[in-house]
A and B are shown apart, each in its own frame.
Chain A
Amino acid sequence: AQSVTQPDIHITVSEGASLELRCNYSYGATPYLFWYVQSPGQGLQLLLKYFSGDTLVQGIKGFEAEFKRSQSSFNLRKPSVHWSDAAEYFCAVGAQGGSTLGRLYFGRGTQLTVWP
């Protein structure tokens, strides 16, 4: 069964520091992988996605993520965090086909706090 693990419940970084949020997934085949961000009172906004091809994907707001098949990971990175990046971040996995197509499985989220 598909599952997503985000090991860090809460991360605090200083503004300007680099950021890496971890995500590990369990899936029988090559999955589609996503990172979403949720600001307080807001819906989920798609930051980036991996479907195939280049394992380093670029997203919005200066975020990038790297798919590592050998480690079943899809970690999110940003070289320099801004105060406005404070939010909750969700990693998700989706099937490329089959009966679960369209069903996204989410991790429990990582809450990011940014110190000025």
Chain B
Amino acid sequence: DSGVTQTPKHLITATGQRVTLRCSPRSGDLSVYWYQQSLDQGLQFLIQYYNGEERAKGNILERFSAQQFPDLHSELNLSSLELGDSALYFCASSVEHRENEQFFGPGTRLTVL
């Protein structure tokens, strides 16, 4: 158990809908990262937040957005969902100054029908 929690574990929804994925980092970790794992693209970095502020952006679609709250939990919002958004979404966290040492949550599996 990495200490990073993600909810829900599974999510099934329809095209055009909007969903919110939630992540709670390890206690004391200020940075949160979101990754998408799909059959087409493999594991890809989406976005990083540090202490409530966006720090880095990867291949994140405009339909996707994220935020980190004062209690450091983070949410990834996916809207206007398409079939191709079906994937496993991972959240990771790290301590300050050790950004590369990331601890991953169990993931949320999103299925878009």
Contacts and interface: CB of A to CB of B under 8 A. Distances in A.
B74 interface: no
B102 A109 contact: no
B101 interface: yes
B55 A102 contact: yes
Interface in A52-88: none
> Which has the most chain A C-beta neighbours within 10 Å: B4, B55, B101?
B101
Given A102-B55, A103-B58, A45 B99 contact: no
A35 B31 CA distance: 20
Interface residues of B, number: 25
A27 interface: no
Q: Which bracket fits the contact residues of A?
A: 20 to 34
Contact of B94 (A90, A99, A102, A109): A102
B90 A44 contact: yes
Interface of B: 2, 4, 31, 33, 35, 42-45, 48, 55-56, 58, 90, 92, 94, 99-107
